[in-house]
Amino acid sequence: MKRKHKLICGFNFLTSSSRLLFSSTSLVGQWSCQTSERYKQRVIGLLLELSWVLRLRATTTTISQWRGEALVCCHFFPGLVLVLSTAGIMSALEWYAHKSLGDGVYWIQERFYESGNRANIWLVRGSQQDVVIDTGLGLRSLPEYLQAAGLLSPERASGPPRRPLLAVATHVHFDHAGGLHQFEQVAVHQSEADALATGDNFETVTWLADSEVVRAPSPGWTARQFRVRPVQPTHVLQDGDIISLGDRQLTVMHMPGHSRGSICLHDRDRKMLFSGDVVYDGSMIDWLPYSRISDYVGTCERLIELVDRGLVEKVLPGHYNTFGAERLYRLASNYISNAGVCHKVSTFAMRSIANLALRVTNSRRPTT
């Protein structure tokens, strides 16, 4: 995709403050060219790497909606500021895509996050309230997408008010909770409420590489900048709570093991289970910082019980495709039968490595 970009060089002798930058920058040159998105990202990346090598303490700032354009500014201390201007930031409509599954359920994904960690986002519409289950990385505005794509009730000056929208996190891992800060109403299980409120990027297992985001959401964006932002939950959930959407009810099931605050949401009437990372059609992950095998075995026993009692026909998981009761039974029973001593030893080793890698990676992340 070809876009028109401008490269503007300027000197800033007065301040490195973004707000004052533009008033104090004297432009010394302007260059316009046709270039690809990938090429532009490479140029920005090279400039930043060069600045680190030369110890120029360069930082980037992306400022949106300045004269209708996005700006990436490299602050080369002292004095030189390089401003890279592009045609615009990717819109929320470009970033997400959705598919209707019928019966008021929509399956949403982040198009340019190409990774096994890309989470499913579910929108469940009710007569009184809509619920978003998980929110992805949050690199573009999910509420804006839902509105622009016509998935929410229209906002009118007169007539009935828009239905409330509640974002529920199945757990606080970064691929599910990254977008929670975009919502006014946020629900999470009580075991992970503190981690979310403090923005604990160790517990959210934040792990993102540039190569996984195949189109940058905004100019100059790098994975190194990404972190789950602190969010004070408005609703703290416990096992057995019922989230009412009016004409449908979602029962909260606390299912620890993958993480300590993992939940499933069960629509008993429709026999649907929104399972997050508790179970999906792939190998279960029990080697993360707050994973626990004994809890996971108990969780799998509950899943089997749901199948035995005929309470689930369709599973809408946190990753990959939907599946049925038979597959759910097999996944849960396989986990239980494999959770022996050998598994515990290898999981202990993997958890130690994961803990170390997450500590090191997240200590380097910016805190703002």
Residue ranges binding Zn ion (CB under 5 A): 119, 173, 175, 277, 318
> Which residue's CB is nearer to Zn ion, number 112 or number 287?
287
Shortest spacing between CB 126 and Zn ion, in angstroms: 25
- The minimum distance between CB 278 and Zn ion, in angstroms, equals 9
Whether residue 289 contacts residue 203, with contact meaning beta carbons closer than 8 Å, is answered with yes
Min dist. Cβ of residue 277 to Zn ion (A): 4
In angstroms, the Cα distances linking 334 to 263, 283, 300, 337, 345 are 20, 10, 9, 5, 18
Q: In the complex, what is the shortest distance from the CB of residue 286 to Zn ion, in angstroms, rounded to a whole number?
A: 11
Task: Give the Cα separation of 187 and 322 in Å (integer).
Answer: 23
Provide the minimum distance between the beta carbon of 86 and Zn ion in the complex, in angstroms, as a whole number: 31
What is the spatial distance between Cα 81 and Cα 162, in angstroms, rounded to a whole number? 45
Q: What is the dihedral of CA 88, 89, 93, 97, to 10 degrees?
A: 130
CB 257, CB 231: distance < 8 Å: no
Give the nearer residue to Zn ion in terms of CB position, either 220 or 261: 261
Residue whose CB is less far from Zn ion, 279 or 339: 279
Cα 56 from Cα 48, distance rounded (Å):
9
For Zn ion, the closer of residues 70 and 137 by Cβ is 137
CB nearer to Zn ion: pick between 111 and 270: 111
| Count of all residues that appear for the chain in the document | 368
Evaluate whether 92 touches 140 at the Cβ level (below 8 Å). yes
- Write down the least CB distance from residue 292 to Zn ion, Å: 14
C-beta closer to Zn ion: residue 199 or 318: 318
> Please, which residue, 267 or 277, has the CB nearer to Zn ion?
277
Q: Which two tokens stand for residue 199?
A: 């923005």
In angstroms, rounded to a whole number, what is the distance separating the alpha carbons of residues 216 and 1?
Answer: 13
Least distance (Å) between residue 70 CB and Zn ion = 29
Tell me which residue of 234, 226, 235 sits closest to 204, measured CA to CA.
226
Which residue matches tokens 């299980």? Answer: 189
